[in-house]
A = this chain, B = another copy of it.
């Protein structure tokens, strides 16, 4: 290992190689509840793409497993290194290289956080519309997991906004994919293949992102419904009508209580309405015109009433922002409350009611408490599972994820497979596809040095 350290120090400078006991423990973990931290052998902090390529050359030469690291906010263990392996941390590659207002494009290094990019675009009247609920996440990390978030119902997910990449292959070659354009039909779309590949195909060193105009006005409507079924039945009516909601979030009563209590939030919903509510729908609209927004909120209120909402509470400004922030921190609230696992399943939107109907029975069979909220607009359900017994929890998760897959859904919407869900991935995915993915992996990384153990297990 001393050889390796010397070789890496020659690339990035001695002060940017940490080895053995010098490595702070945070480099060994992410925020996954189900993956234990590991001790990497070394951490290297490259400053540019050439250094990343040279680092990969060293790793390839020594057969060292390489795990890329952004902010470490992932929820599936994809940034947890192999014991003794090499962590390539992008903390120094954290520059916004350009905000191209004419092209409506941002070019950033992978270590830039969503918060930093949001600040930089705000002044230009533009926005990068991916808000996965953790604004400390690095762009590199969100590209690796194809992060989604609350705005996906209107804006799509990360892959819909990544126009191009610079990346280093395991062979040390630097490639550039895509560019500052939406249209291309020029060979296989390597950009889209690398997005969501969780650091197993290439290391991303630069990202070209599509930006959108930042609309000035936003309002939310919180609608209590008698139950889950009414909420899920309302969702397609609201997405099909042309109001084009930015957010359509489902929050069950357990999650709503946890969220509001955790944030000390009073939403102005009277106690008797809260007592009668079985579930909530939060709808957020935005518009460049305040008048049109007001009209749309009015229309939305009428539509919600027609769909069986008990009432509709308009939230704007600070109150809306507080609820959104609290909702985004639902993961932390659940964790604080002692949740043992977080589900990130997806079902077709039209199957949401059936999935929600199956959940209590599954919880009951395994002696667990399950509550949650989810991105109802796109069928992405986050459930907090409380079952401290590891075996019972594992059986419950098997059943829950199989139920999602059985409804035509998938086991991860936005957190990724990482190290946490490899067992479910292999159990529920078509073996022909897993083998094909394995051959694709080999086409990129013949010696398997990039994030071994992630995705394929």
Q: Which residue of B lies closest to A100 (CB)?
A: B350
Q: What's the Cα separation between A429 and B190 when bound, in Å?
A: 13
Is A271 positioned at the interface, with any CB of B under 8 Å from its CB? Answer: no
B192 with A413: CB separation less than 8 A: no
* Stretch of A177-185, A252-260, A320-328 on the interface side: A177-185
Number of interface residues, chain A, beta carbon within 8 A:
87
* Stretch of A30-38, A153-161, A364-372, A383-391 on the interface side: A153-161
Question: What distance in Å separates the Cβ of A159 from its nearest Cβ neighbour in chain B?
Answer: 7
Contact residues, A432-451 vs B (CB, 8 A): 432-434, 436-437, 439-444
Residues of B within 8 A of A201 (CB): 188
Give the one of A185, A239, A429 with max B CB within 10 A.
A185
Residues of B within 8 A of A410 (CB): 179, 181, 184, 186
Counted per complex, copies of this chain come to 2
Q: Contacting A444 at CB < 8 Å: which of B197, B346, B436?
A: B436
A187 with B346: CB separation less than 8 A: no
Q: What's the Cα separation between A157 and B411 when bound, in Å?
A: 27
Given contacts A159-B192, A292-B292, A408-B180, contact A185 B416 (CB under 8 A): yes
Q: What's the Cα separation between A193 and B192 when bound, in Å?
A: 7
Is A417 positioned at the interface, with any CB of B under 8 Å from its CB? Answer: yes
14 contacts between A and B (CB under 8 A): A104-B349, A146-B184, A159-B189, A177-B433, A180-B379, A181-B346, A181-B349, A181-B409, A183-B346, A187-B434, A188-B201, A189-B193, A189-B195, A213-B240
Besides A156-B160, A181-B380, A185-B196, 4 other A-B contacts (C-beta < 8 A): A181-B413, A187-B429, A188-B193, A241-B288
